[in-house]
Structure 1
Amino acid sequence: MSINAISMREARETRQIPEALDLVTFNAKGELLTADMATQPLESILPGNIDLTTLGELAPRNFEARTGDGVIRYFSVTPIYPGEAFALASWDPSQDFLSEGSPERTTLFFTIAMWLAGLMIALSALYFLAVRPLSALGKRMRRFASGRRVLQYDGRDTSSRELYTINRIFEQMARKILRDEAELENTLHERGVLLREVHHRVKNNLQLISSILNMELRKTDNPEVRHKITRLQSRLSGLASVYRGLYESASFASVRMDTLIEPLLRQLSVSLSGRTDDTRISFALDPIALTPDQAGQLALLSVEAFSNALDYHAANTAGEDYIQVSLRETDEATIVLEVENSISPEEEAASGGGRSLGAQLIDAFAMQLEGEVERDAAEGRYRLTVGFHPAAFEAAPEDQEIPGTQSLLAR
């Protein structure tokens, strides 16, 4: 079997094979059939450490190796006739065989250009069919989330039926959410107006009862009767103050105790000004918010404790005559109410008694607060301390009244 060298040269010219590429053919026995190269000797184009027989066994394969004279070249071996004849191409990587005008360069550039064109078409299709419609949908969602605005969808951003359906479903969902929110807002507004009206009417009714008691107070000269009516009025005032706080508050879920207790107790001290002209009254109330239930109990408890302090206060051995009221929250999340007043040595034992009506009411209110009561009478002062844990804030039922009001009025 042999290949004419002229045929090899004609093939090089016909296929426009560059001169930098050297070609040889050989058979399965490792015998060289033809060699078509420029001016290099044969050992300069063949791998130096692999014989032709082994190359035939490796075909087809591309590899890099050193030639017989030690130069690194690229090699590609492929069978011409399986198991019988093989062709070996060898070229120097330092020589550019992709010269201008060569078919290899033209083919390579055309392939790259077609690949780039296909990539641009794919990216354009991805942008117009997916990216731009999804970006428009995201913009509509952000507008709706930030300002509850529903942008009109005209369907021009996409030709995809699926994306068109998603946009339409989002638009319907957004409009339904707006309608539901509007209805909920109207319902809450109506509920708020109703609750304010209820609290306002309750406050007015309690004030009316207090006014009736005041009329009865002016008809009697009995000091004991006048004192009992005044104490009852103070309890009604405490209850009315809670409802006034709910009526004037922006939220029905909580009541600020500092703004509720201090005006109430100051008003009480004025109504009993006969024994408080020379008494130093001070308040130290932290801005603590409680639920309406606890606020009512604490307000009534404060009224009873302050009324007891007004009844029993006197100058002590040091000449001090004072009443101190404090409300604070400890590090253990406990609300502590303290009412302290000066007492004379003669009244020290009497102030420590715990079975008066006021003391019983204080114990009852503290029990409803699930708190603990401590009484301490020593060294010219009497101190009442009530500690309890605040309840979690939650909306109370509309028909729920402040606990203890019926028993208080019944007394």
Structure 2
Amino acid sequence: MAALATFALVPAAMAADGTYSVYACKGPTGAPVGSSGWAPAASPQAHTSDACSGGGPLALSLDAGAGGGQVAKWTFQAPSATRIAGLNLLRTTQGLAGTSNTNVSYVVNALGVAPDGNTKELESCEKKNDKCQTELSAPVSKPGLDAAGLVVQLTCATGLLDSCPTAAPTVVSLGQAVVTLRDATAPSVSGTKVIDDGDKSGTLRVRFDAADQGGGLYRAVTRVDGKVVATQGLGDANCADADPADGDAYQFVSAQPCPASATGRESSINYKSLTAGPHTVQIEVEDAAGNSTAVYATQFPRANADGGGTAVDPKRLLQGRVRAWFPSGPKGKTHLRSRTFAYGVRPLIRGYVVDRKGKGIVGARVDVYHVTRNGKRTLVKTGLKTRGKGLLTYIVSKRLDTRRIELTYRALRPGPITGKVSLSVRVVKGGKTFVLPENRKGGKKKSARK
């Protein structure tokens, strides 16, 4: 049948917000793709063919000498919750040149055009009145549409007694079709849950469910201070940018490329991938047309202070230092870094967190580690929080053996330790230094009671 032609590519138009492009026959790189969304129909003496996946065109043809009323057409219907916003078409013809074949007509129409739902002609060649006498090859570009469908149609007259007395078939070949679809509905998000706030692991992890009408759920996007730092696809191979190199992320080879729903999906970010300092992290879900809905937003890492109701300068926190001691003597005015206690007595520790100028940092969380004689370091408290003027108080358990106690401050959470103090506790029992057997150097763990 049809003569095969060499087609240039339609220049990629950057998709506007709320639209996405669907490529047929050739993708934006020129690689062969399918014909998603296009449906054929033909009369007995008319034909359609689809060679897109092999690098060929969508074609329409009329037999030589076809009778009146014979029709071949390719139709594209906008998927649910979308509208056709534009069409770019590369097509060539064979059999339209000259003044013969006067009963043939070729037309491209937009169907269901807003606001009245009528049909709008986008391109035509009606031989009956000699409106065109040359073959067609120039690209077709029709932006600014608002339609429910498209049809490319080749017809031999309309009367059954008419005919198209040609010696060879009449052929229209579509080398590339790019339909721009408008999707005005943003995704919906539900079931958002912080799986890990990152305070200990360093990685913020958020789980969510989402749903979308139209092009479907495309990807989860992580922004840091408003800039995209990571994307995570939510669909299969069809739900992927057809040309990641050209800067337009909303080009697909499927009319409805992405899934309508996603359940239990997770996004994450590790603080070590960020520059020092607190950042605004926002996770969004985006559909195929670029419409987005926020999933979760937070400061991460978080400034380790609440300021007592006043604004906190992160630079001031980075200079924070922690001081702690065992109070002793009259009114506890003597500050000791090491002290001996009888077994069963609860040691009292006081301290503060201040900046370089000595001003207290209010609402700072301090981590408390215990280091036993065998070198084992255990985090025993994370909720120790400074009060007014940056002061803190920590009362140690009475069931204690000899050990070191470390108080650490992190200006950002999560983040590295920026301030640390170590205190030594000697516990005496029966006049001797008391160390639990399992905490001695080389000691074994205490066996469970039978």
What is the TM-score normalised by the length of structure 2? 0.22
Q: Greater helix percent: which structure?
A: 1
What is the TM-score normalised by the length of structure 1? 0.23
Q: Which has the higher contact order (CA 8 A, sep 6+)?
A: 2
State the structure with more CA Rg: 1
